[in-house]
Chains A and B, each alone.
Chain A
Amino acid sequence: MPVRLSTIIASFALALFLNFLPWRDLRLMPDFVALTLCFWCIRQPRLIGLGVGWMLGLLSDAGNGVLLGQHALAYSILAFLSVWLSRRILWFGAGLQALHVLVILLVAQGVALLVRVASGTAFPGWPIFVGPIFGALLWPLVTWLLLLPQRRAQREQAI
């Protein structure tokens, strides 16, 4: 069952919306945009890839007022890893998939951190890596949620 483009666009809009919510401690919150991007890169590697990741990164950069290119670099590397590993990851069950995603999210976070430190900011401390862990824990839920429209369409077809 092919995925509809509107589903993908709506999910990215929702992820950006969640990222812009005024969270109390931003370090502990997962990056929803990274998670959604990772999901679509794994599920639809021919539709969603580095270009989309890069644009989303630019939007995040401008919205957060950080150096233009920080999230863009991190998200394009994340998209590359996800597209590259997509076939391998889809073989596993939800738990092992989440482990792969954890590594990908950690790499992306590390890249963003590296850019930040290179631009002269002090090291923000280890809690910054808690966000990706929460993100990986959310992976089964994200999978279930984002596949919901397709599954419903499938069921309707069967009836």
Chain B
Amino acid sequence: MDHTPPPFFKRGPAPLVRLFFFATLSLALLVIDARFRYVEGLRGWLALAAYPLQRAALAPFEVGERVAGYFSTQARLVSENERLRAKALEYSQDAQRYQAAQAEASELRRIINAGERLELKAIPAEVLYASRDPYAHKIFIDRGAVQDIRPGSPVADESGVIGQVTRVHPFVSEVTLLTNPDQAVPVQVVRNGLRAIAFGGGASGMLELRFTAANAEVHNGDQLVTSGIDGTYPPGLPVATVVHIERDADHTFARVLCRPAAGVDRGRYVLVVANEPGARPARPEEVQAGKDRREKSRRAKKAAPVDAAKEPETPKESDAAR
């Protein structure tokens, strides 16, 4: 723009002024979205506007799959059928044994006066696409508020947990994967019941057990399942396998890396496990009062599971540690 137009041509404000305006608007939105979350409604409407295009982007793959399915040969179908039948037989045995075990477990739980475990309701969903931001570690699934998906529900595939629903739009939901560095799952080592928290490892696609004492009894190959003590993830879902442990005398905590059990970045079909808000017992009275403090001490409790027994008496200490 090396010349200014004569004033009788109406052209609106100068480009630089417009840039300043829109940049300020964007920055304000960024801050509001990152700090206060006031703009979820706007985001919902925008997501609804983008939905037809997102659906359309998946159509070619669906059509391709259907065409490929049409042309799949007889022999392949027969062999697949046989394999599936063998698998179904195997599973039916497991299912029978599971029912017996379930009955036995509930009997035992009644004997020791533990609460009944609730049956889990799962909603199947299809993965629509991954976020374009490769470091967001988020996927979108084709079920939303209309299908009764609630934010916070765990998401699993056939072999284990893959993440958690973080935002719910009318027809799609956003799932934050386990590998997101901000995502944490309370876990338990199957072998000895040791509690820990698994954090996402980011681009490496691994999980990391943070705040695990250097002398904690964790071995390579240990299976980790959800512990269920947070009330969000149901207990017993497979999460990861320990693959690498670094114990350094200079550090208080060991560095434990685990590989996710589920195909976190693969697979097209997932299950959204409905977490019933009524399934949890109410919080004790005095803890309700200091909600903020409870949050802190709860996180600290997760952070130092080894000291969990003596933690309630020393909330200040654990706050400082955090």
Contacts and interface: CB of A to CB of B under 8 A. Distances in A.
A100 interface: no
Contacts of A16: 50, 53
A83 B43 contact: no
A75 to B, nearest CB: 9
Contact of A17 (B23, B53, B140): B53
Interface string A16-34: 1111111001110000000
Contact of B29 (A18, A21, A69): A69
Given A20-B53, A20-B54, A62-B46, A69 B33 contact: yes
B54 A50 contact: no
Interface string A118-158: 01011011001000000000000000000000000000000
A63 interface: yes
Nearest to B29: A69
Interface residues of A, number: 46
Contact of A50 (B15, B43, B46, B49): B15
A39 interface: no
A64 B15 contact: no
18 contacts: A16-B50, A17-B57, A20-B57, A22-B61, A27-B134, A51-B22, A54-B25, A57-B26, A63-B46, A64-B133, A65-B131, A66-B131, A67-B33, A68-B39, A69-B26, A69-B28, A119-B34, A122-B135
Contacts of B131: 64-66
B282 interface: no
A81 to B, nearest CB: 9
A72 B26 contact: yes
Contacts of B214: none
Contact of B134 (A17, A25, A76, A80): A25
Contacts of B135: 116, 121-122, 124
Nearest to B58: A22
Ranked 7 nearest A-B pairs via Cβ = A62-B46, A69-B29, A73-B26, A69-B30, A20-B57, A63-B50, A76-B22
Given A63-B50, A64-B131, A65-B138, A22 B29 contact: no
B133 A66 contact: yes
B23 A73 contact: yes
A36 interface: no
A4 interface: no
B18 A50 contact: yes
Contacts of B32: 68
Contacts of A70: 30
Contacts of A66: 131-133, 136
B1 interface: yes
B54 A76 contact: no
B19 interface: yes
B130 interface: yes
A53 B134 CA distance: 22
B1 A68 contact: no
A58 to B, nearest CB: 6
A125 B30 CA distance: 23
Contact of A59 (B30, B46, B133): B46
Contacts of B21: 50
B53 A68 contact: no
Contacts of B18: 49-51, 80
